[in-house]
Structure 1
Amino acid sequence: MSRRHIDAQQAAFDEYHDEPGALPTMRARFEHNGSPRYLLYTIKRFGFDRDHGFHLDVELVSDELESGMETIRERLDGGGTDLVDTDYISVARERAEGADIVAIHPYGRTVGGLVAPEETDIAGLEDLSGKRLGVTRRLDKNWILTRAACREFHDFDPDETATLVEADSRDSLTRMIREGAVDAGFQFWPLVPELTETGPFVEVLPISELVQRLSRTDRKLPIATFLTGESSLDANPAAVRAFAAAARDAVDRLVADDDLWVDIADRLMRVDDPTTARAVRDGWRDMVVRDWDAETVAGMYRLFDHLESVAGAEALGVAEIPDGTFRPEP
C-alpha cells in the first residue's frame, strides 16, 4: 500500500478528530491495512466516543512499525498508546513474559478459509489427506486449527497425510492458488473474496466453523482482542469501559448500515470492485464479535488447550494463559 493511500486513510479519520477538551483520551494505534480500522472509523464518524464520554484518537501506523508483539508491547508499556489489537495467544504470551497488557474487549474471529478451484473434490476436513495445501507459514493459526480439528473429529493429522507448502506471504499464497501450485490454500479472511469473487474459486472450509466446534460454545468466539496496558486500565477504567460501549455501538451500525460500507470502501479499502467490497463487508459482519462474557472466555481457554496440544507450548510461546489476561468487565 502506498504512502499516499495511507495518508488518505488517515485524512478520513482526521476529518472527525476534534479537540478532546476535558474528556479522557484513548490513543489508538492500528495497522493501516487491518480491518479494526473499519470499527474505529465508525466510532469517529458517528461520534460514539463522545456519546460515551471519552475521546478516541486514532493514528494509522505503517509497515515500518509492523513488527509484531514487541512493537505492541513497546507502544503500551512506553506510555504512547492506550489501545491496540492482536490475537489472544500473543497477549497471553507477552503477559506471561511480564508485559503490562490485558485484553479488554473482543474484536473477532480473525481467521481465514480454505480456498480451492471450483472443480475441487475437497468438501471438508476428511478430504485433506493427499492434497498439496498452501499456507503463509507452518505456524499459521488456520493450519494449527485445522490440524486440531482433524485430530479431534477425524482421528488423523493432515501434517502427516498432506503436503504443506509455505508461501511466506499472503500475496504469494494468492498467486500459488491462482496458478494451481497447490490444491487449496488457507487464506486470511479479507483476502478470500479477492479469489472467490473474481475467479473460479470457492471457499470450501471456513476456519471460523472450526473455532466454534473446538471451543464447544455457541457464543461467537474471538481470536483477536483489543488490549491496553494494565496500568492504563487501573488509572482510567471508565475510559476503557466507554470504549467497549462505543465499540458495541459501532458494531451495531456496521451490521445494519450498508451505505456506511460504501463510504468505507471508498475511503479505507483498496478494493475497486463493488462485489468484492460487499463480500468483505459480509465477511467482516460474520467475523466480528460484539461482546463477550464468562462463557466466551471459557471457550477461549478450551480452544487454547487444543492449539497447545497440536503446536506445543514452544511453538505458541506460552504453556498456559496467565491469570488476569482477559477482563470481560474492565
Structure 2
Amino acid sequence: MRLARYLIGAIAALLCLGFTAQAQERTLRISVLKFGTVNWELDTIKRHGLDKAHGFDLSVQGVAGGAAAKVAFQGGEADVIVSDWLWVARQRAAGKDFVFIPYSKAVGGLLVPEDSSPNGLADLAGGRIGIAGGPLDKSWLILQAYAEKNFGLDLKTQTEQAFGAPPLIFKSALSGELDGAINFWHFAAKMEAAGMRKLVDISDAARDLGLDPETPLLGYVVKGELVREHSELVQGFAQASRDAKALLATDDAEWDRLRNRMNAKTDAEFEALKAGFRAGIPAALPVDQDAAARMLEIMYEVGGEDLLGQASKLPDGTFYAP
C-alpha cells in the first residue's frame, strides 16, 4: 500500500511538472517600452483574451528604454521585442538569427511652426532642425536623401541639428526653439494637434525616392529558433496581433477604453493619436521583399555601416513567413 501511494504521488508529480512545462512553453514574454504605443495593441490582446484564443499566454514586461529591451531579448529574458527591420537586417548580416514580424508602417514628418515662413524644404537651409532618435533616425535619413535629390540640399551640413529624446524635441518645437522638427509618429501627431504644420511627409519623401511607403518599418522581433521549434506559438502571436489591429481599426469604444493609457491631454491629441495608429496598420500581406531591398540600399547609401553594419543587401529570412 505504501509503495502504491508512493507511485501515485510520483506519477502526479511528474504530471504536474509536465503541465508546468507546457504552460511555460505557451507563455510568450515580450519586453517593450513602458509607455510605448505598442502597449495599446498589447492591452487589446490581453483585454479580449486574444492570446488565450490563439494558444498562448502573453506576458508583457515594461522597460525604460529600447536598449534594455534588446539586452533582455539577446540575453534570453524576453522572447519578443519591438524594433525596426533595418536593425534585424543588420543583426542577420552579423550572424544573428532574428526575424521581423510587421507591426506598423507609421512614420512622422518634418513639422514647422504654423506661422513660420518656410514653404519648402529648401527654405530651412541655415535653420535649426530637431531630430528625435539620433543622427541615424530613419526618417532623418530619408529626408536627407529626398533633399539632396530634389533640391541639391545637404541637410547635414546646411542646417544645424539638435538631437534629443522625443519629449524634448516635442517641447522644443512647440516653444519655438526649432525651425523644424522630426519626431516619432505619435509625438508628431501631438505636435500637429497643437498647431504645427507638416512641411514634408516622410511617406511622400519615401515615395519620391522610389520607395514603397506601405513597407512596415516597425515590428515584433523574435529569434529564428522560436519560429522553427514553436511555429504554432509565433503564428498564434502574429494572428493575435492582427486581430487586435482589426478591433482598433474599427471600434471607437476600444479607444475610449485606452484613452487613459495614451497620455492625450486634449480631444485633438486623442483623435490625432487614434488616426495615426490606424493609418499605420500595415496590410495583412507578406512584406514586399523587392521594396524592402530598395529601402535598405538607400538607407545604406545614406547611413552606411554606422546604421547597417555589413547589411548592404537584404539578408534572406529577415521577414517572417508563416
Structure-2-length-normalised TM-score: 0.83
Segments of 5+ residues of structure 1 without an aligned counterpart are 1-19
Tell me which structure has the larger Cα radius of gyration.
2
Corresponding pairs, count: 300
Q: Distance in 1 between matches of 2:206 and 2:184?
A: 14
Alignment RMSD (CA, Å): 2.4
Q: Distance in 2 between matches of 1:50 and 1:211?
A: 38
Q: Distance in 1 between matches of 2:219 and 2:92?
A: 14
Q: Distance in 2 between matches of 1:329 and 1:315?
A: 25
**Identity, % of aligned positions:** 27
1:195 aligns with 2:191: yes
1:314 aligns with 2:311: no
Q: Contact 2:31–2:69 (CA<8 Å) still a contact in 1?
A: no
Q: Contact 2:99–2:318 (CA<8 Å) still a contact in 1?
A: yes
Q: Distance in 2 between matches of 1:160 and 1:205?
A: 19
Q: Distance in 1 between matches of 2:152 and 2:285?
A: 31
1:269 pairs with 259, 262, 272, which one?
262
Q: Distance in 2 between matches of 1:135 and 1:216?
A: 22
State the Cα deviation string for residues 185-224 of structure 1 (Å, max 9, x = none): 11221112332223x422222213323443533x711111
Segments of 5+ residues of structure 2 without an aligned counterpart are 1-21
1:54 aligns with 2:56: yes
1:253 aligns with 2:247: yes
2:183 is paired with a residue whose SS is: strand
Q: Contact 1:91–1:325 (CA<8 Å) still a contact in 2?
A: no
Output aligned runs, 1:1-330, within 5 Å. Answer: 24-61=26-63, 63=64, 66=65, 68=67, 71-103=68-100, 105-136=101-132, 137-161=134-158, 163-198=159-194, 200-217=195-212, 220-266=214-260, 268-295=261-288, 297-321=289-313, 323-330=315-322
2:102 partner amino acid: P
Q: Contact 2:296–2:314 (CA<8 Å) still a contact in 1?
A: no
1:34 partner amino acid: G
Change (3 A) 1:159 1:73: closer
Q: Distance in 1 between matches of 2:46 and 2:71?
A: 25
Following superposition, the deviation at residue 254 of structure 1 comes to: 0.5
1:134 is paired with a residue whose SS is: strand
Structure 2 counterpart of 1:15: none
2:97 partner amino acid: D
Structure-1-length-normalised TM-score: 0.81
